[in-house]
Amino acid sequence: MTDAIMQTYTAVEQAMEEFNKALLAHLDVLRESEKEDPDKVVRLAQGTKAMRDSSGIYLSYAKFIAYGMPENEETIDDDLQG
């Protein structure tokens, strides 16, 4: 695939990782807060898990496209390792 697609895929992957880390950090802050709203914490915890799962699905397909729709996952792994 083109360098632009690979660079963009990498940027999206990194952004999703950072977003998920930020959600987890915010969840930790809410859990430690003295004014914690249990319902809000539960909703955010569920949303954080859903976001992590959804971004994993999205990124797996984006990786598939970025690597030129290879015939199997081993081809992607070989490309990633060098």
Q: Which pair of tokens denotes residue 16?
A: 């999703």
* Residue 75 pLDDT: 58
Q: What are the sequence ranges of the domains in the chain?
A: 3-81
Q: What is the pLDDT of residues 30-51, one digit of tens each?
A: 888 877 788 889 999 999 999 9
pTM here is 0.73
* Residue 37 pLDDT: 83
* Residue 79 pLDDT: 53
Q: What is the pLDDT of residues 20-33, one digit of tens each?
A: 999 999 999 988 88
CA distance 43 to 31: 12
